Every structure is written in structure tokens, then in C-alpha cells.
Structure 1
Amino acid sequence: MDSLASVLQFLAAFLDALVDADVLLLAECSLDLEGHLVEIDRITDSIYDSVNNGVYRAGFAESQTAYDEAVTDVFDALDHWDEVLADQRYLAGDRLTLPDVRLFPTLIRFDECYHTTFKCNRQYLHQYDNLWPYLRDLYQTPGFEETVRMEHIKDDGYYQGEITPIGPGLDYDQPHDRDQLSSPDETTARPS
């Protein structure tokens, strides 16, 4: 197994045989799209470098230059993916894939924590035309919402167990209409 994607493909195939596909998020993901795995790996690596790790590079920067570079990487990537998501439902096309699963934790934490705590404050995620509905689409996909504990995100992100921030109080269940970007047989989310 050469990569995380290969490991997750193996795991998804193994678990799919044991668990109902409606219950298991990995079984719903197209982790094994033949001919697309190189592109999926490229997107996964790009998202990790610029967004997943980028927010931490910004938050723990020890110089203005390091912070500026990290924040620029984060928002250049978010701007790019916002444009891509104008024309397709998911990062790699019409199917939920590993890059979507990998990006979700950072996006769900962004406005709630990273914007303020890690000083990634050029723009809120909910101000993006396509990333915000995309995040709600993922959140409403079976298996995603169950992984979110907003009080833990806020407590851990702000490093203060006694006081949990109230805001921003975003509604991740509001309709997103992103299912219109996929063909009917490609949808995996609950109706919006």
C-alpha cells in the first residue's frame, strides 16, 4: 500500500462487506475510481498542504513572514476550490471522494475556530458562494454530521475549558441545492 488512499480503499472494500453501505461513510465514498486515483491523490495532497496544514501553519507561525505565507496559501486554496465548486458538486467531480472527506474537518472548524484562533481571518467560510453550500452538503451527507461535536471544536480550538464561545451559530442544515450539480444516480446526500 503506497498511500493513504490505498489504505482507505482497502478498508472501504473490507468494511463494505461487513456493514450496510448506508451506515458506513467510507462505503459511500468513491475511493476506488479507476483512472482518477492519481488526480484524487493530487487533490488530497494539495488540500492537506494548503488548507488542512495551512491553518495550523498560520496559527502557530513564529514570524510575520511565516504567518503571511500560510494565510495566503489557505485563502488562495479556498478561493480556488470555491471556483471549482461552482461547476461541480465535489472536489474531484460528481462523486464524493477522499479529498472531500479530508477537507471536511477543516471546513467545519473554520468559522467556528480557525478564523479567530488561528488568525485565518481574511474571510469567513460562510461568505464563500460555493464552499459554504458545499460544506452544508457534506454535513448533510449521512456519516458526516455524526462526526461533529461543535462544543469540542470550540473548547479545543480556544484552549479554554471554562468558557465556550457562543457564535457564530451557523445553520449547517439549511438547504444547499448542490445535488443539482450531480446526475440523479450520483447523489449521496439527504434531500436538501
Structure 2
Amino acid sequence: MSERQREIARAALELLEDRGAEAVSLRAVADRLGVRLNTVSWHVGSKAGLQDLMADEIVGEVSLKRLPKEWEPRVRELVRRYRAALLRHRDGAAVVAGTFVAKQNTLGLSEALVAALLDSGCGDADAAWTAWTLVYFTLGLVAEEQSAPDSDGGLAAAVTAGAFPALARTVAHIGGANFVERHQFGLDLILDGLRARIR
């Protein structure tokens, strides 16, 4: 990423914090920087190109330093840091989820995560697909956390034991604000599954 692209990405992230993902456009970034729209377009190409830069900046906040040596604590720490980076930005998960970035920061995190999984002794496909599963699970749950309404939207009242017995039995555990516990549960489930495949 060039210095000018980094400047554009940072301006876009400032807009994101101030007004949310819907307000971020090439024109809004140009206005924020006090430059012509063509200047921004030249460096990012399109709205998708701008979003890629923003996503890579967000992922670049994931430190790859001082990680545990053992594979499983290393995977857990990388995923924890990834979740924290997404949460630091308003609509952070929505921005990153809409991209397919092949840039330095995103590739660096991917390399670290896949390398840790390979160190488990699993096969190449299992490492790649487990990394994919961890990333998309984390993105999905953070996206929910960042857009969750204050109430359950009437879910508890709508789920009656007669019509939806399984949902009625578990409704207290569906949704809710316990995102840290839900993320930990999902992470445990994925890594337990990987260990079982290795055995």
C-alpha cells in the first residue's frame, strides 16, 4: 500500500467511525481530504478498491508479535486479536466481510493463522479450511454484535412451545449479549473438531 493509499484508507476509517459504513464513498473521502474525486479514484479505482484498503488497514491492527509457541494457544490468540481489531471499528466486520483482499496485512495474518494450524499436524486442506472457518465464524459473530438491537425484537414472545418447541426450550441461549462466551464456545468447537480429525 502506498503512502497516499494509506492516507485515503485512514480518512475512510475516520468516516466509518463518524457516520458508519453506508456513509463511506469515494466522494466523501475526497471531501474529507480536501482533494478532487479523481485523485481518490486514481489511487483506489472503485468503491470496492476503497473497501479493500479499509479492510487491510483494520486487519493490519492485528499484532503478529509475541505469539505463543504451541499451535493451539497461538491460533486462539490470533483469533482473539482479530476479533478485537474488528470491534475497534464501527461496522468493522461489515467492512472486512465484504472483501477478498490479497494485500500485505491480510496475507500476513492469513499466513500466521495457517502456519499455526499446520503446526498441529493436520493436512493442508484441513489447515486452509479451518482458517477459513475461524475467520468467517468470527466475522459473522462480530457483525451480529455490532448491529444487534437493544431488545430481542420480540423473539421470546414469538417462540411458543406449541409451535416451536426446540426454539422455546433454547431461546434464552439464542442471540443475547454474551458474545464473548459465544465466540469462545465456537472457537472451542472448531478446534475440538480439528483435534478429532488429527487423531
Confirm or deny a common fold (TM above 0.5). no
Query: Which gives a bigger RCO, structure 1 or 2 (Cα 8 Å, sep 6+)?
Result: 1
TM-score normalised over the length of structure 2: 0.26
Q: Which has the larger radius of gyration?
A: 2
Higher helix share: 2
Question: TM-score, normalised on structure 1?
Answer: 0.27
